[in-house]
Structure 1
């Protein structure tokens, strides 16, 4: 007997090897590819998305039947193709990837009809990718305005991707006279449903959102614009499926034959190289940047003994404050001192939970671990030798704040080191000096600054991550957008990063960085995969990682390099100890054949942004 068989992906957590499940379509039922349906799965009724429908003789006896259709046309075929690609790329089950397309739980009150008017997809095969480097915020805004209008004039939807939720409002206000919908994935359920419905129906013409917006059901997507394309918030690295927004956007643009524009003050090296190889080129607009001043800490006297602020920096800040202007002091270290060591026996205070060095708190009465929130009182005498002398080395935001208050007692000083929230921007507007880490940078975003200061640039320049210099390059380029002057305190004044900023030669930076990548064989010369084993017992995580290496040695091509196992930089994540294995492999190697060999609790990060944590 001829029957219709639907291949359905249940929206449940499943092993990575599980794909579609076959269900019989009842004779009178109307079921189409992309419908959200109710299916019997194991011992309960669950939601599932129809990925395919086949007609033929039933090959399985007692095939279960599909239940009600909950949302007709919940996903379009392009979305399903995107989900297939993502599951294969990131090494997760189709079910895990498919959950992304439905941002809310369906209810009986949420009634939606199939799309009656199918969108007309215009041929845009001749459109080339647009790659723009900007050096002023106003120039960037003009470019985005122009790109949005081009897509709207074609009668199509345009997607503007931003790295942070806080940026959505700024762009939404700019396009408030148009049919704009914003989406971040953190909205109330009612707002999430409304946005989803407007995008699906085509009523929304301009869609602005973070990476979560990639997975929604577009009516007629004609263009994708990525603002601050270098931003690492575009990397989904904390939960499955792990992916890079730029890769997904590129694939989505191809599915829709849509135009794609990436806009950045400092593109990622991989993107820079790919564009150059493709003979597309980067277009630099408004090539005006902040004045750069580099202070050599090897020769410059400090105001305080073992202090963070040099005499030269103090003089520069004095001049800016005398004009009533605003200053950012950037330091990516929290607390007072960054380590506490007994001068008699050399014992270093270590966190008993995650083995990180304990940091002196801002009030100097406690030792704290900012990774796991462990705290303890300063212990004198030394518990190991009874010594009374403790050396507090290094310096964080707490120490910087104390120095700043002593040097500029009449200035309004704002210290920011907690997680970012929008109220911090209001506080920053009222301050003369804003000091802190990347939270402070976000708080002063788009705020005109007379001067930005990297107080200890070497703290990030010398981090043991292959992208550490690139990340600092991106930060400094971003700060030059809103600062009249950029001051850098460093013990490496001749580093190519500062030379490229001084000469305003972007290519110099990328050429120099590429030489190092070639020397040590990192992307874009090779591709990376990081496998992570985690367990509440560290030795168990380490043992599993060792066993995984044995599996990989038998399965990887001879030219692949296995590094590890090695412990996570932070050792303990939440309540789990983590051990990693890093694979370097050739650009033309497809690693998806490895996924079925791995235990389901192994985390796969294909093309990781960080390798140590």
Structure 2
């Protein structure tokens, strides 16, 4: 008897399954899904049995299994099906996927008790009841549900979980959103909830995994890691904030998108798949148009009083402040009425760059060659790429000139100006520079990046100022408009107060159409533009990344592979990253733009020409 075994370690994409002989002593004990110890090269490693068969590979001296690590199967057949699909789709070895699935097994299991807030069950509106009934009756596997505020979402999730038997899975984009969902449920039901995310320790992760494996959890809430759990009776999958790019793992293999993987998970378990969002991703909108997903549009669009301020007009009036006259006046009113204000900017620091006014030199990082961000506190220059920091020099290192100009906006610059205009008010800042988030109750103005959005008490906010809506619009990325659209909708989703948007691009469709809640024309414009440029959803993209300590070798290898790929059915082009030097290595990208109709075997042939020391990212969310 022989077993096909996947090793729980990362391998090159073409290496996956190994044959091992089953010793007679284990012949009646071996099961699919068991964790076993096997000899591999000069060491002993662990692997998962995925198949038992009579014959091994002919003509090979096949080694024996050493022992059974776990007598009970730790991986179930449906997990293996998902792993096999992900291995094929994302061009990674099976072992890489299995390594993500396997729980770390602790030496001792300790009892863990979680304390959550509990709530009274939300009162479900008639509109949400209608949506829940439609989902229950319809035959469609996938449904998009538009949620216009957090109260609607609480009602929908509570109603859906109560209406459906079996196991339910909710995937959220970030860890800090898990507790918000748990807190929807009364304490008695919270004991039936399992949570999965990357910050659980070994003991917590293993306990959660076993709970799901033994079918003792009715609801699983997790980040993208949640898709790998051993579900026994999965009936419904909910992807919360479907539009959020954090559903994609981009920093390590496997570079997978939980939204795409959930589509396959839904097919494996024959479960309903529900997308929740305040604004569709463009790809999901296209699927709705193609009738692949049922659309349950909210009857009440997100409507907040929105003012668009053209900052070019402010400069013409000689107002050079970061605050327009309108925003300044509204902040004054809010403070006079003892109300709280949130000022949003998606950049940290005091200035985006420091320029020598004598020679035009931009101060950059010695390691990364990226512009340094100026932080006024301590007069420090920070590289937010490699985290290096240095003092602001008294003279330009290029021409020795003493005159520096600080350009661009950041949270610290806004904080400085706010303190100048409202010196008696309590002003706090939340951005990634602050490790501990502790919001005092007596603040008047809060300044923050996107990190602040999920930790604010939005009921206390009476005014939102988006200090610059142009942060994403300036990115050389085909998703720039969409990112801006989602960002503004995300703020409107949480807030119920007036929003003032400052921009130098007041005529841009993403900003203009947001103001009048014209979803239809925004998505129509986006789809038309992407179709003309052959971008997703009208093509599939694969980003290939090469890294090398030597800049010339990096360029030469990229050009070598590009010459090969130019003869393939896919359109291939080189892109230089926004940050070409990172963690001591130079990087170059090749972007493959392939027709949707391209056959799988042809795509596989193309990818087989890519050496194993290249990073393959299918369906990237960022090109640069």
Work out whether the TM-score is over 0.5: yes
Q: CA deviation at 1:150?
A: 2.5
1:90 paired to 2:90: yes
Query: In structure 2, how many angstroms separate the alpha carbons of the residues matched to 1:280 and 1:373?
Result: 43
Provide the residue aligned with 2:537 in structure 1.
Answer: 524
Q: CA deviation at 1:448?
A: 4.5
Q: Unaligned regions of 5+ residues in structure 1, if any?
A: 111-122
Contact 1:124 1:259 in 2 (8 A): no
Provide the residue aligned with 1:115 in structure 2.
Answer: none
CA-based RMSD: 2.3
CA deviations on 1:224-244 (whole Å, 9 max, x unpaired) are 111111111111000000011
Provide the residue aligned with 1:50 in structure 2.
Answer: 49
Query: In structure 2, how many angstroms separate the alpha carbons of the residues matched to 1:57 and 1:587?
Result: 38
Query: In structure 1, how many angstroms separate the alpha carbons of the residues matched to 2:604 and 2:443?
Result: 52
1:572 paired to 2:584: no
The alpha-carbon distance between structure 1 residues 432 and 514, as it changes in their structure 2 partners (threshold 3 A), is same
CA deviations on 1:239-294 (whole Å, 9 max, x unpaired) are 00001110011100110001110100112100111122116442223424211110
1:469 paired to 2:481: yes
CA deviations on 1:324-361 (whole Å, 9 max, x unpaired) are 22221111222222222222222221221111112222
Other structure's SS at 1:568 match: coil
Contact 1:172 1:182 in 2 (8 A): no
Contact 2:344 2:447 in 1 (8 A): yes
Please, which of 298, 304, 320 is the counterpart of residue 334 of structure 2? 320
Moved more, 45-54 or 280-289: 280-289
The alpha-carbon distance between structure 1 residues 486 and 39, as it changes in their structure 2 partners (threshold 3 A), is same
Query: In structure 1, how many angstroms separate the alpha carbons of the residues matched to 2:263 and 2:204?
Result: 27
Other structure's SS at 2:216 match: coil
Query: In structure 1, how many angstroms separate the alpha carbons of the residues matched to 2:44 and 2:283?
Result: 45
Provide the residue aligned with 1:147 in structure 2.
Answer: 160
Once the two structures are superposed, the pairs formed by residues 27-106 of structure 1 within 5 Å of their partners are 27-29=24-26, 30-56=29-55, 59-60=58-59, 62-71=61-70, 72-105=72-105
1:562 paired to 2:572: yes
Q: CA deviation at 1:177?
A: 2.0
Provide the residue aligned with 1:173 in structure 2.
Answer: 183
Contact 1:103 1:185 in 2 (8 A): no
User: How many residues in Structure 1 have an aligned counterpart in Structure 2?
Assistant: 588
Provide the residue aligned with 2:123 in structure 1.
Answer: none
The alpha-carbon distance between structure 1 residues 234 and 429, as it changes in their structure 2 partners (threshold 3 A), is farther
Provide the residue aligned with 1:611 in structure 2.
Answer: 623
Q: CA deviation at 1:104?
A: 0.8
The alpha-carbon distance between structure 1 residues 69 and 151, as it changes in their structure 2 partners (threshold 3 A), is farther
Q: Normalising to structure 2: TM-score of the pair?
A: 0.89
Contact 1:528 1:607 in 2 (8 A): yes
Other structure's SS at 1:530 match: strand
CA deviations on 1:135-156 (whole Å, 9 max, x unpaired) are 111111111112112222xxx1
Please, which of 19, 25, 33 is the counterpart of residue 16 of structure 2? 19
Provide the residue aligned with 2:445 in structure 1.
Answer: 433
Contact 1:428 1:444 in 2 (8 A): no
Q: CA deviation at 1:472?
A: 1.3
Please, which of 462, 484, 502 is the counterpart of residue 515 of structure 2? 502
Once the two structures are superposed, the pairs formed by residues 210-289 of structure 1 within 5 Å of their partners are 210-278=223-291, 280-285=293-298, 286-289=300-303
Other structure's SS at 2:579 match: strand
Other structure's SS at 1:458 match: coil
Contact 1:461 1:468 in 2 (8 A): yes
CA deviations on 1:387-430 (whole Å, 9 max, x unpaired) are 33222222222211111011111221111222676x52x41654
CA deviations on 1:42-77 (whole Å, 9 max, x unpaired) are 112211011211124773454211232223321111
The alpha-carbon distance between structure 1 residues 429 and 51, as it changes in their structure 2 partners (threshold 3 A), is farther
Moved more, 172-181 or 77-86: 172-181
Please, which of 496, 500, 524 is the counterpart of residue 487 of structure 1? 500
Provide the residue aligned with 2:375 in structure 1.
Answer: 361
The alpha-carbon distance between structure 1 residues 508 and 600, as it changes in their structure 2 partners (threshold 3 A), is same
Query: In structure 2, how many angstroms separate the alpha carbons of the residues matched to 1:420 and 1:130?
Result: 39
The alpha-carbon distance between structure 1 residues 401 and 35, as it changes in their structure 2 partners (threshold 3 A), is same
Other structure's SS at 1:300 match: helix
Query: In structure 2, how many angstroms separate the alpha carbons of the residues matched to 1:277 and 1:140?
Result: 26
Contact 1:500 1:508 in 2 (8 A): yes
Provide the residue aligned with 2:345 in structure 1.
Answer: 331
Please, which of 6, 9, 14 is the counterpart of residue 9 of structure 1? 6
Contact 1:401 1:435 in 2 (8 A): yes
Please, which of 396, 407, 425 is the counterpart of residue 421 of structure 2? 407
Q: CA deviation at 1:309?
A: 1.2
Query: In structure 1, how many angstroms separate the alpha carbons of the residues matched to 2:516 and 2:379?
Result: 46
Query: In structure 1, how many angstroms separate the alpha carbons of the residues matched to 2:453 and 2:15?
Result: 44
Other structure's SS at 1:239 match: coil
Contact 1:428 1:434 in 2 (8 A): no
Q: CA deviation at 1:33?
A: 1.8
The alpha-carbon distance between structure 1 residues 188 and 430, as it changes in their structure 2 partners (threshold 3 A), is farther
Provide the residue aligned with 1:114 in structure 2.
Answer: none
Query: In structure 2, how many angstroms separate the alpha carbons of the residues matched to 1:526 and 1:161?
Result: 26
Q: CA deviation at 1:128?
A: 3.3
Contact 1:290 1:481 in 2 (8 A): no
The alpha-carbon distance between structure 1 residues 61 and 247, as it changes in their structure 2 partners (threshold 3 A), is closer
Contact 2:56 2:62 in 1 (8 A): no
Q: Unaligned regions of 5+ residues in structure 2, if any?
A: 111-135
The alpha-carbon distance between structure 1 residues 360 and 106, as it changes in their structure 2 partners (threshold 3 A), is closer
The alpha-carbon distance between structure 1 residues 304 and 183, as it changes in their structure 2 partners (threshold 3 A), is farther
CA deviations on 1:500-524 (whole Å, 9 max, x unpaired) are 2222221121112222212322111
Query: In structure 2, how many angstroms separate the alpha carbons of the residues matched to 1:308 and 1:596?
Result: 52
Contact 1:448 1:482 in 2 (8 A): no
Contact 1:227 1:263 in 2 (8 A): yes
Other structure's SS at 1:355 match: coil
Q: CA deviation at 1:610?
A: 0.2
Contact 1:133 1:283 in 2 (8 A): yes
Query: In structure 1, how many angstroms separate the alpha carbons of the residues matched to 2:484 and 2:241?
Result: 15
Other structure's SS at 1:130 match: strand
Please, which of 211, 236, 245 is the counterpart of residue 198 of structure 1? 211
CA deviations on 1:492-546 (whole Å, 9 max, x unpaired) are 2222223322222211211122222123221111110000001222222222211
Query: In structure 1, how many angstroms separate the alpha carbons of the residues matched to 2:30 and 2:563?
Result: 46
Query: In structure 2, how many angstroms separate the alpha carbons of the residues matched to 1:57 and 1:48?
Result: 17
